[in-house]
Structure 1
């Protein structure tokens, strides 16, 4: 949630108070809210988060709108073993040696992917390994356990499709237009077009075969 809009930086992420990042790369015009924890992620151009968002081992594309208290890519414990507690595979804090590097490395490679122009509501959990398609909407409080198709609105526990944002032909045209990959110059040139009805926007920017 924005209380006071700040002037964002093109080349340096705007990072809120008490937010921590590790092994993470950032695109341009990125804003992270307060008290975020971001580990082993890629954050794309124009992405922003609210407060208390935790992300691990995730790849976020461009123009993603994230509310507060979102969890993306939470790691799993080895529930198929005798002990699933962290002491059994990474117990340095408890005085145990020999971290299970193979298990820890495997978790890093279970990537969660969030597509372009996705809107993620308050309190959403997106499980590790899930892919969210371009233009999707994740309703507040949803727990996403399976892939979400592009331009689909989902919600609930577990999250299920509620409706499509647009007819199939509009979705296809938007994927071809891929406005999220436009240059900054084109975004500025056509900025007001984003306020047009979707049919007019697609007609104006339709990619010719």
Structure 2
């Protein structure tokens, strides 16, 4: 089935119906799908999401591809306390006004980082405080509970390495080239190079 992609704007993000943004900074060339909830995040250039994604307290670098129903940085309840229920630390909805600001502020400071050119499959969950390296692939339905190394493919519950995308030498070269930091002018100049075999791309740009 052929799908037409929207024409995106450099400075005006394309935001789907029903999406809510709270305390979030957006970069350039951004597309967010419908019914996302994004709270206390930094979203870098050229990132896009599918529908029904939920992200909190996270830093997303550039060129990240996020499928539908992805959860990044879910916050934890204080399971080491007498009660882990929200009423005990943020109970205004239940008529308890003494909010535990210390706990809430500390929870917001635990950041999840998604590297450049990462692909996150449908329904994946990436737990709070983790780092996903550049060029990684997170399989559909994966539950990520540990950091993910650059250019590795992980999947399953809890997620384990399935394979590396490239050899260590190629990984090192790509990290060195760091094309995701190129200017728009260079991206346009070398655009067709992204269709070359990876070895040829490296020869031209390392």
Asked if TM exceeds 0.5, the reply is yes
- Report SS of the residue matched to 2:113: strand
Partner of 1:72: 72
Residue pairs, 1:185-200, within 5 angstroms: 185-200=185-200
| Mapping for residues 6-155 of structure 1, pairs under 5 Å | 6-155=6-155
Structure 1 segments, 4+ long, off by >6 Å, are none
Q: Distance in 1 between matches of 2:44 and 2:168?
A: 26
TM-score (norm 2): 0.98
- SS for the counterpart of 1:90 is coil
Aligned partners of 1:99 and 1:69: how far apart in 2?
Answer: 30
Paired residue secondary structure (2:82)? coil
Q: Secondary structure at the match of 1:163?
A: strand
Q: CA deviation at 1:3?
A: 4.5
1:7/1:104 CA distance change after superposition, 3 Å: same
- Residue of structure 2 in register with 1:182 after alignment: 182
**SS of the residue aligned with 2:146?**
coil
Counterpart secondary structure, 1:170:
helix
Structure 1 unmatched runs, 5+ = none
Q: What is the aligned-residue RMSD (CA, Å)?
A: 0.9
What per-residue deviation string (whole Å, max 9, x for no partner) do you get for residues 8-44 of structure 1? 1101211000000000001100000000000000000
CA shift, 1:51, in A, is 0.2
Structure 2, unmatched stretches of 5+, are none
Give the TM-score normalised by structure 1: 0.97
Structure 2 CA distance for aligned equivalents of residues 80 and 171 of structure 1: 41
